[in-house]
A and B are shown apart, each in its own frame.
Chain A
Amino acid sequence: MVGSTHFSAWSLLRRAFGGAWPEQWRAPEPRDAYDVVIIGAGGHGLATAYYLASQHGIRNIAVLDKGWLGGGNTGRNTTIIRSNYLCDESAAIYEHALKLWEGLSQALNYNVMYSPRGVMMLAHNHHDVRVFRRHVHANRLLGVDNEWLTPEQAKAFCPPLDIGRSVRYPVLGAALQRRGGVARHDAVAWGYARAASALGVDIVQNCEVTGIDRGPDGAVTGVRTTRGSIRCRKVGVVAAGHTSVLMAMAGVRMPLESFPLQALVSEPVKPVMPCVVMSNTIHAYISQSDKGELVIGAGTDVYTSYSQAGGPHIASHTLEAICELFPTFRRLRMLRNWGGIVDCTPDRSPIIGVTPVPGLFVNCGWGTGGFKATPGSGHVFAATIARGEPHPIAAPFSLDRFRTGRLIDEAAAAAVSH
């Protein structure tokens, strides 16, 4: 890899005996012009830049971020990876992402700690059972692994789970995707940043976009930022919760609403959770990080907000559910709690593609579950920007679907109630 250390067991060992670690990506001043400007240095934006540079030969790229890279939802999510969505279009993009996850550490020469420990989604009532079994069958037809477990099998897969019948919402079964799991979210941002930077991509942090310039024909001619104006023909907006704000700079109204979504972690404990467990009905999801903290995801607030916080009652509601499902966790103390701003679409599916403004591309609407799609999203969005037309996997996720009515309803698969 150009200009940076190649990581191997030998190079790590040698580094352990001394010497400062070199910076893993450059910190350049923004230039006057680029071929492509990506707004948002989260996982999706950095992945987009990396695939543009590595697969499409476009290396004159800037990735701009108003804060630091990976400091938004990429560094705030609960890192769950799975592909067991219902619709064909969704299964295609999430499965595309899952296949990239499987080889990502090798491709980036950076350990993203992808751990396919299994994602188990619990059914608590008759309707859950019907919906999840339908998902299992739909997934099987598409070649996506997903299997149905009885409560006893679920307990065997995840011993701390309480499958007693006396609780308010007893476990009636579960859908398990064994290839699902978690990855280290920061490492994903750092790995893509390092690989993209080595290919010549300029990652410019603390550089907020304040305007999008357009020529007489309406096409994009550049962006204005807090660190000066930058000329470019193509702009990719990958700004999650702030997408509406940025698109408004180009006069485009979006079918998005931004909500705070919370997560929290417990004090670290010895390994106790062998997998990821999610429950849509009583609203909780939980896994254990390699540091030992239980990582818990809560729901969104009911109102739109950019506050990066979230109501305490939302998190308490989730903890009540966790304590019912896992009585042994009741005495654990929570260490940290934070929020991120997620952009939700009406059909709970993302928007990836072209916009009414020539040269302006958008990748947004991942709502409460974008992390799992990071490699696939970046891969198909890079192809879309490079060719100026949607990648086949991205095509159904057009902004235009809200006009044609061809929505991709994943409200039941999206897991987080909103």
Chain B
Amino acid sequence: MLLIPCPWCGPRPENEFRHGGEAHVVRPVDPRCVSDAEWADFLYNRTNPKGIHAERWRHIHGCGRFFNCIRDTVTDRIVTTSK
């Protein structure tokens, strides 16, 4: 179980959180103007890196807020979290 440092509440066990998937996935500003391929890329394609991963977590059983996290997906070590 990961010990995740919530930027608001401090270190808490993983089961207080929900994983929010890859960070910085930007929804197209005007979905009517993008192609099906671009829309699919936004909806479904993910970097899924082996190594450093920028992801989001949500502290659902704490402050309820989303935050960003940098984690190594090989060692599961959390490098840093930020608001």
Contact = CB atoms under 8 A, between A and B. Distances in A.
A258 to B, nearest CB: 6
A306 interface: yes
B50 A255 contact: no
Nearest to A303: B19
Contacts of B50: 242, 244-245, 258, 306
A305 B55 CA distance: 12
A258 B48 contact: yes
Contacts of B43: 346, 402
B73 A305 contact: yes
Given A254-B46, A307-B74, A307-B75, 7 more contacts: A255-B46, A302-B14, A302-B18, A302-B19, A303-B2, A304-B53, A343-B48
Contact of A313 (B15, B36, B48): B15
Contacts of A245: 48-50
A257 interface: yes
Interface in B33-83: 36-37, 40-41, 43-50, 53, 55, 71, 73-76
Q: Which bracket fits the contact residues of B?
A: 20 to 34
A257 B19 CA distance: 12
A253 interface: yes
Contacts of A253: 41, 45-47
Given A256-B46, A256-B48, A306 B74 contact: yes
Contact of A346 (B37, B44, B75): B44
8 contacts: A245-B50, A255-B44, A257-B48, A303-B71, A304-B53, A304-B73, A306-B50, A402-B44
Contacts of B75: 307
Contacts of B21: 257
A73 to B, nearest CB: 16
A403 B73 contact: no
Nearest to A346: B44
Q: Which 6 A-B pairs have the closest CB atoms?
A: A255-B44, A244-B48, A253-B45, A403-B40, A303-B19, A302-B19
B1 A254 contact: no
A305 B76 contact: yes
A404 interface: yes
Nearest to A247: B48
Given A256-B48, A313-B1, A306 B73 contact: yes
Nearest to A305: B73
A13 B71 CA distance: 55
Contacts of B40: 255, 402-403
B48 A311 contact: no
A312 interface: yes
Contacts of A305: 73-74, 76
Contacts of B73: 258, 304-307
Interface in A325-376: 343, 346
Contacts of A346: 43-44
Nearest to B20: A303
A407 to B, nearest CB: 9
B33 to A, nearest CB: 16
A270 B50 CA distance: 42
Given A245-B50, A403-B36, A307 B76 contact: yes
Contacts of A244: 46-50
Contacts of B76: 303, 305, 307, 309
Contacts of A302: 14, 18-19
